[in-house]
Structure 1
Amino acid sequence: MNTRLISLIIFFCLVSVSQGVAQDTAKGTVFVDSNGNGILDSGEKGMAKVPVSNGKEVVLTNENGEYSISIDENDAKVFVIKPSGYRLPVDERNRPQFYYLHKPEGSPELEFDGVSPTENLPDEINFPLLKADTKEEFRVLLFGDPQPYTRQQVEYFDRDIVSELKDARGYAFGITLGDIVGDNLDLFKPYTQSVAKIGVPWFNVYGNHDMNVDVQSDSLADETFEATFGPATYSFNHGDAHFIIVDDVVYPRKDGKSGYIGGFTDRQLTFIKNNLKHVPDDRLVIIAFHIPIFLPDESGRTFRVENRDRLFDLLEDYPNTLSLSAHTHIQQFRFFDADERWHLVNPHVHYNVGTTGGDWWSGVADERGIPHTLMRDGTPNGYAMLNINGNDYTLDYKVADKPADYQMSLWGPEVVPQNSWHGAQLFVNFFMGNEYTEVEYRVKGEQSDWRTMNKVEEQDPHVAALRQKWDRSDTVLEGKRPSNPVSSSHLWKTGVPNNLSLGKHTIEILVTDMFGRTFTDEYTYKVVKPER
């Protein structure tokens, strides 16, 4: 090979490198932190075959716990994917410490502070893990959209939700499913101070109201989130479950429209693909993001369906899956099958979780001074619980400031005329209901058989009545007017029997949920003589 040809090859190689992203290499050790000081001390052992990622590639540590992975030399993140049987260190606000942000010059100048300059890449980025007695059976707290716009609303969240969970026992960790705050990112601090009181490690999902909106690139929209919580896309294991947390808010949009849209980037999908290579196919795979993957949503914005199809392709070898979202401020389930390009026989379950902030902290305040904030579909504000046993799960919903057995609301007439047409109906809103829920009723003491109630897609009349109170008032009511009602996906109704003796009667309600569990309630009304 002549000298001129060699020179040309070198030239084109240099041009190719200069046109790409400048690369650096992060190195370090994943180790068992025996004394819990966060430092790799002499005698502490490295852990083999632990995944480490840069948000795209995933590598495994060697037999000494060492890893090496390429990163962007100007803006990168490196994180460990926690294996089962171990726990992550947490800071003073119970935020898991599993990552390193590499941003030599820091975030650009923004309205809200981002990542401070990290300067040169450290020679070693070590990740400590702590031994833990992880059980196959555990519970996870799920919060949808606290979304406070003011410090007063942070206080509502603290008093209404966090106060009843303070120093909670029996939970492995918690996840807030995005819209942690309402555009004012300075509220991240009081939010984290509040959630820390629960006393368990807390993971956070990035939402559309958690964005730095004064940016021109989607890669910069999460700068304040990263500075507060770390990477917006990552994963970890616990028991026989594998959790994948994904930022699915794309901002700005690239389709010529303003605002944001739900979707995944090629980098995220590559990360999920590489990540799943190290997840056995008998694990329960749980994907958590903010914007739901069904189309369209009621705000007129949508999720990019081609991204959902690619996600489903990646999950085709995993028969046990669940996806979680928030965003809508209602509660609903979706079951994806072959019509939506889900590849397995059993549908993929998507749970769109009701919110801790309810209907954006609206409505008349209760005796505590906290707005009722009933959601538009009739779901009261509260939080969910994911109960995992091996690769199986159940879900519960807890209404704020109510007993745990408050699982449905009933709406019907106080009186009906005996043996006369009246048209009055009894409505049952079972907050965790869906098409796999059965609702039955019978008149107590009448030795009648259980009858099936009709599932309907209608507005909950209780929600409609509350809104009418605001519109028909001749004075301005205190608080924020609630949003207009929407059709509920967990509503049942039936006619109220009036071919009974005069006096009080009680209708028994029996609900069987999607997991085969039963719940009961009662509704009392009067049968009276008809007007002549």
Structure 2
Amino acid sequence: MKQQWLACGLSTLLCSAAFAQSQVKGYVYDDQNGNGKKDKKEVGLAKVAVSNGREVVLTDEKGAYSLPVGQDNTIFVIKPTGYRLPVNEYNLPQFYRHHKPQGSPKTKFAGVAATGELPKSVDFALIKQDEPETYKMLVFGDPQVYTQEQVTFFEKGIIDEVKTKTQDVRFGISMGDEVGDNPNLYGPYKQAIQKLGVPWFHVMGNHDMNYDAQTDSLSDESFEAAFGPNNYAFNSGKVHFVVLDNILYPDPRDGKGYQGGLRPDQLDFIENDLKLVPKDYLIVFCYHIPPFEEFRKEDRQRMFNALKDFPHTLSLSAHTHFQLHHFFGKEEGFARETPHHEYNVGTTSGDWYSGEMNAQGVPVSMMRDGTPKGYMFLSFNGNQYAFDYRVAGQPETYKIGIHAPKVIARRQSGKGEVYANFFQGSKNDQLEYRVDNSEWKAMTYTEEPDPIMVSTRLRWDEAAEPLQGTRPSNPVPCTHLWKAALPGNLPAGEHKLEVRAKDAYGRTFIGTHALKVINAAENN
């Protein structure tokens, strides 16, 4: 108990120090020549939001701002629509300045170097651009590289494919766990991301932390050194993005491990930020741990309260290494007639780079719910959105994994079942099947392990010799799975089984499966 009180006291002291009474001042300006300096002829931009991680202020008519800072702050501009941010050599947006006069505390992995005293003016450059309301972004869940070999898997299995598909992508984001407990791999990871050639944002995950930190506010020092702030916001088109570190470390309950949640200063930032956002914008929260996992309820409630007056909202998360949609309604504290949509995105690492090697020499790594590893395009049209999950190494039309018999005796066809895993689906979608262009028949939604994932795991358990690679994780119930009984009167011969998915956005996807029925001797 005494140790817990000491930890709480240290956290309070550090938090108070971070927001002491000195001031940072500067300008947000239109960097017309792109040199990163405010030249005399370059005008300041009015009504642009700037934050210290808690307070949020708007620039005046000359583009000037002023904010309180302590000894551990990152000051950042909140990009307005119609402008772009400068990027560094890794295509990481440069919209912030760390203020840590003494630098980060000494930890196993290096943090931010000492920044010294503040300059007289901390200025932020924005570059004017045409920014249509219709666009798309890329979303990566959990790259989570533990070794240099896994960096190579990430490059060969994801980056080499995606870099050919970014022509009309405005930017991308990784949803946390960029690395696996080893910030020394941030460098190789950034070199991989650089190859995509588009601006790339980052969310902090529980495997990106400094585990020797004594308080949550200092658990992000290596992440900050590599990527910038882990709590920030920006606008693009008619969408306002809020990026949050929602991992409390050490766990405030017992000091061991971590808990999902937010500190008071982070919740203050959310509220202060959203006060300045038009109510007709789509608000997109980006964080690592989905709040339907083990998450501090009072923090989730305050976060939901900040969203209740916005008709259009979405959350993106990762962390679980499976894919699902969750709809928060009034029974879970979201006080709006329409629920809040959370998309827990599938991962680029799949099931932690497990499984046998594919033709690329990369682990197959199917996720525990039967979703193959991949990445997601998120498209926007004003304040409306739609998503497109792509399976790595497959055509973009591959949306449905089908499990059904390949060969079946004629009189036993009615004993067979077809399962359909609509990878990006939810129980709000409709799935149907048919055989040989017959009438479409409804399939039944079910939550059980995907048979393909079950068979994958059984292959490892039943192998007479050890298989090459890492044994996959246990299967979990899939939240986007449907099943149906096969017809009992199929004649002998080749048949085409089709599955059709109609999603909540009015789109239709079709998958096919070859089925052979044979005349076999009947058992007496």
TM-score, with length taken from structure 2? 0.95
2:345 matched to which residue of 1?
353
Q: Hey, what does 1:503 align to over in structure 2?
A: 493
* 2:18–2:73 contact (8 Å) kept in structure 1: no
With 277-286 and 501-510 compared, the bigger mean Cα shift is at: 501-510
2:434 is aligned to 442
- How big is each residue's C-alpha offset from its partner over 1:35-94, in whole Å with a ceiling of 9 and x where there is no partner? 00000011100001111100111111111000111111x111110001000000000000
Residue 153 of structure 1: which of 132, 150, 153 is its match? Answer: 150
Report the count of equivalent residues.
506
Give the equivalent residue in structure 2 for 1:470.
460
Q: Is the 8 A contact 2:428 2:504 kept in 1?
A: yes
Match of 2:225 among 220, 224, 227: 227
CA RMSD of aligned residues (A): 1.4
1:18-417 aligned at under 5 Å gives the runs 22-72=20-70, 74-166=71-163, 168-256=166-254, 258-295=256-293, 302-417=294-409
SS in 2 for 1:141: strand
Counterpart residue number, 2:512: 522
Contact 1:416–1:422 (CA under 8 A) maintained in structure 2: no
- Report what 2:419 is aligned to: 427
Q: Post-superposition shift, 1:449?
A: 2.3
Q: Which runs of 4+ in 1 moved over 4 A?
A: 18-21
Q: Assess if the C-alpha contact under 8 Å between 2:46 and 2:62 holds in 1.
A: yes
Looking at structure 1, the residues matched to 180 and 350 of structure 2 have their Cα atoms a distance apart, in angstroms, of 13
Q: Distance in 1 between matches of 2:394 and 2:144?
A: 21
In the alignment, the residues of structure 1 paired with residue 475 and residue 18 of structure 2 have an alpha-carbon distance, to the nearest angstrom, of 51
Unaligned runs of 5+ in 1: 1-17, 296-301
Going from structure 1 to structure 2, the CA distance change for 1:21 and 1:508 (only over 3 Å counts) comes to: closer
Cα drift, residue 514 of structure 1: 1.7
TM-score after normalising by structure 1: 0.93
The aligned amino acid for 1:221 is: S
Measure how far apart 1:476 and its partner are.
1.4
Q: 1:270 to 1:22 in 2, by over 3 A?
A: closer
Inter-partner Cα distance in structure 2 for 1:242 and 1:421: 52
Partners of 1:323 and 1:349 within 8 A in 2: yes
Equivalent-residue separation in structure 1 for 2:365 and 2:225 (angstroms): 31
| Largest Rg, 1 or 2 | 1
Structure 1 residue 524, shift from structure 2 partner: 1.9
CA contact (8 A) 1:416 1:498 kept: no
Pairwise CA distance, 1:367: 1.8
Shift of 1:498: 3.0
The secondary structure found in structure 1 opposite 2:235 is strand
Does structure 2 conserve the Cα–Cα contact (< 8 Å) formed by 1:498 and 1:527?
no
Cα separation, 2, equivalents of 1:390 and 1:85: 14
Is the CA contact (8 Å cut-off) linking 1:248 and 1:289 kept in structure 2? yes
Q: Deviations over 1:414-455 (max 9, x none)?
A: 22232347632111111011011100011224xx32110011
Change (3 A) 1:444 1:151: same
Contiguous gaps of at least 5 residues in structure 2: 1-15
Paired AA for residue 368 in structure 1:
Q
Q: Distance in 2 between matches of 1:142 and 1:259?
A: 27
Letter of the structure 1 residue corresponding to residue 498 of structure 2: E
Match of 1:418 in 2: 410
Which whole-Å CA distance do the structure 1 matches of 2:429 and 2:343 have between them? 14
Q: Secondary structure at the match of 1:432?
A: coil
SS at match of 2:369: coil
State the alpha-carbon separation in 1 of the partners of residues 245 and 19 from structure 2. Answer: 22
Q: Check whether the contact 1:407–1:431 (CA below 8 A) recurs between aligned residues.
A: yes
SS at match of 1:161: helix
Partner Cα separation in structure 1 for residue 263 and residue 428 of structure 2: 33
Identity of aligned residues (%): 49
SS in 2 for 1:350: strand
Relative to structure 1, is the Cα distance of residues 85 and 504 closer, same or farther in structure 2, using a 3 angstrom cutoff?
Answer: same
TM superposition shift of 1:159: 1.1
* Aligned-pair CA distance for 1:508: 1.9
Cα distance, 1:529–1:99 mapped onto 2, change above 3 Å? same
